[in-house]
A = this chain, B = another copy of it.
């Protein structure tokens, strides 16, 4: 039995309620939902691709920190008892031969058509947003109630088998005098992306227009704020695209799986 830190019953109830609302059709980005509970990125691949992906994650732990790998065909996870990974994510992306072919809110039917899917749940930077908020650091996409901006970079991850792809980053604008605190706080959560990979200088990451993210929403950057970039759990989707994986289901960027595990579990 995996050891997992337990959340309070009240916190678990909040997570369950959020998942139930999502199962019943709530389709919004999950940043700020069930505060204090760990959210996760999802990627499901045919069994034949599972080893390549596990190796890709192992070689790129900053962007692909694995929180759980489900049994082939299973939509259950140790991270949330009773949850159903086919329905409990607000929005899914469907990939064929590396192309996004559909966005759906219920993956039950697709799961039935692909009975050998291996599902990976991957750490999400939302985990350290709560302690950052508690330290008085504004999280712009939570303030403005929109999705976090995410960018494909010019940095390639270390390839594994048939998989290769760019590092994807999320961005939060942070006042210059709080960047250091943001690094220290997020650095305490190494298994959910940890400290930023890049601070300022979007050009150097190959980001041409910071106001045009590849995924999610653009957010205001105020005078005196520095764009701070964290490795992002959308990185597997970039690998699916670039590597032409024949079939995959993923969460839609920013639309995460809410677990029953408290953020504190990933605090070193």
Given the contacts A184-B183, A187-B184, A177 and B195 also touching, CB distance less than 8 Å: no
> What is the bound-complex CA distance between A213 and B87, given in angstroms?
58
Residues of B within 8 A of A183 (CB): 179-180, 183-184, 187, 195
Stretch among A39-47, A88-96, A103-111, A198-206 lining the B interface: A198-206
Cβ 8 A contact of A226, one of B201, B205, B223: B201
Bitwise, A135-169 to B at CB < 8 A (1) or not (0) is: 00000000000000000000000000000000000
Interface residue tally of chain A, by bracket? 20 to 34
Q: Is A233 interfacial (CB-CB < 8 Å)?
A: no
Bitwise, A202-219 to B at CB < 8 A (1) or not (0) is: 011100000000000000
Given the contacts A176-B204, A177-B204, A204-B176, A199 and B184 also touching, CB distance less than 8 Å: no
Tell whether, in the assembled complex, residue A199 and residue B224 are in contact, meaning their CB atoms are under 8 Å apart: no
Residues of B within 8 A of A226 (CB): 199-201, 226
A interface with B by C-beta (< 8 Å): 175-177, 179-181, 183-184, 187, 195-201, 203-205, 223-226
Shortest 8 CB-CB distances between A and B: which pairs? A176-B201, A179-B199, A183-B183, A204-B224, A200-B226, A180-B195, A180-B196, A200-B200
